[in-house]
Amino acid sequence: DAADRARANGAIAQLGNVGTASSTPLFALAAAGGLVGTALLTMLISALGFTALWLIHRKIAKTA
C-alpha cells in the first residue's frame, strides 16, 4: 500500500545519506594508504555487496 511504499522510499533516502556521509572520509583514508589502501577498500566494499546479494538471493529462494 501507499504507506509501505512511502516508508521504503524514506529508507532508501536514508541509505543514500549514510553513503554520502561515510564514503568521503573512507576514501580519504584509503587514499592516504596509497593504491594498496584504495584497492583494499574497493575489494572490501565489493565483498560486502556480493554478500548482501547472496543473502537476499537465499531469502528469496526459500520463499519461492
> How many helices (H) and strands (E) in the chain?
2, 0
Looking at the chain, which runs of residues are DSSP E strands?
none
Q: Give the cell for residue 1.
A: 500500500
Q: So where are the chain's domains? A: 2-63
For residues 1 and 44, give the distance between their C-alpha atoms in angstroms, rounded to a whole number: 36
Whether the CB-CB separation of 36 and 30 falls below 8 Å is answered with: no
What local confidence, expressed as pLDDT, does residue 64 receive? Answer: 73
Q: Cα–Cα distance between 50 and 48 in angstroms, integer? A: 6
Note the pLDDT of residue 57: 96
Q: Global pTM?
A: 0.63
Which regions of the chain are under pLDDT 50? Answer: none
